[in-house]
Chains A and B, each alone.
Chain A
Amino acid sequence: DAKTTQPPSMDCAEGRAANLPCNHSTISGNEYVYWYRQIHSQGPQYIIHGLKNNETNEMASLIITEDRKSSTLILPHATLRDTAVYYCIVRARPGYNQGGKLIFGQGTELSVKP
């Protein structure tokens, strides 16, 4: 699985948009970009995933650059409950080794402040 690079920490004001970047310059054509988050002492929570098009769901938006070498997770209106470690993971799509394994990097520790 390709590796990802994320800033170790970020701050965001409550109510503002949180933009979390991720670099995955070695991503291959059969790999998705996944985002999970982990609130302290809990299991990771799935947020969103995408292949090459931008994606949006009730939690967040995922913007993937045209060359697919980087992406940004956007939390449109961050709340205090969004404080967590956010992991960007590249994983093979289904049909390729059953979609591969989720290998976690160090992630970005997002602190949402009042």
Chain B
Amino acid sequence: GAVVSQHPSWVICKSGTSVKIECRSLDFQATTMFWYRQFPKQSLMLMATSNEGSKATYEQGVEKDKFLINHASLTLSTLTVTSAHPEDSSFYICSARDGRTQNEQYFGPGTRLTVT
């Protein structure tokens, strides 16, 4: 099956700093990518949807100025958590939709962010 990678797999940062997480589709072109957040013992929560070359669409309650999303190519999307705080500590998961079929959607392995 198709592969989606994320980097880094885990990161620890200090409060007030910014952290960038990369999401890549390795063997297919992803016209649409999605970013999710998951707190312990909870389900995945969709944060935003991004289409290549255009601005991301954020879900209600997600601060677009805090969670910056860039989808500059068909294989790469980045999520930058700006001015991170301890409450931003979470498991961040990206997902990519295959541009050919528009039906298949694959998930990355996730990035564990801890803000101290």
Contacts and interface: CB of A to CB of B under 8 A. Distances in A.
Contacts, number: 56
Contacts of A103: 46
Given A43-B110, A45-B107, A99 B97 contact: yes
B34 A102 contact: yes
A98 B110 CA distance: 24
Contact of B110 (A36, A41, A87, A107): A41
A98 B102 contact: yes
Contact of A104 (B4, B44, B101, B104): B44
Interface residues on B, range: 20 to 34
Interface string B1-19: 1001010000000000000
B43 A99 contact: no
Q: Is the interface of B mostly helix, strand, loop or mixed?
A: strand
Interface of B: 1, 4, 6, 32, 34, 36, 43-46, 49, 91, 93, 95, 97, 101-110, 112
17 contacts: A36-B107, A42-B109, A43-B95, A43-B108, A43-B109, A43-B110, A44-B44, A44-B93, A46-B107, A49-B103, A93-B103, A94-B102, A99-B102, A99-B105, A101-B34, A102-B95, A104-B44
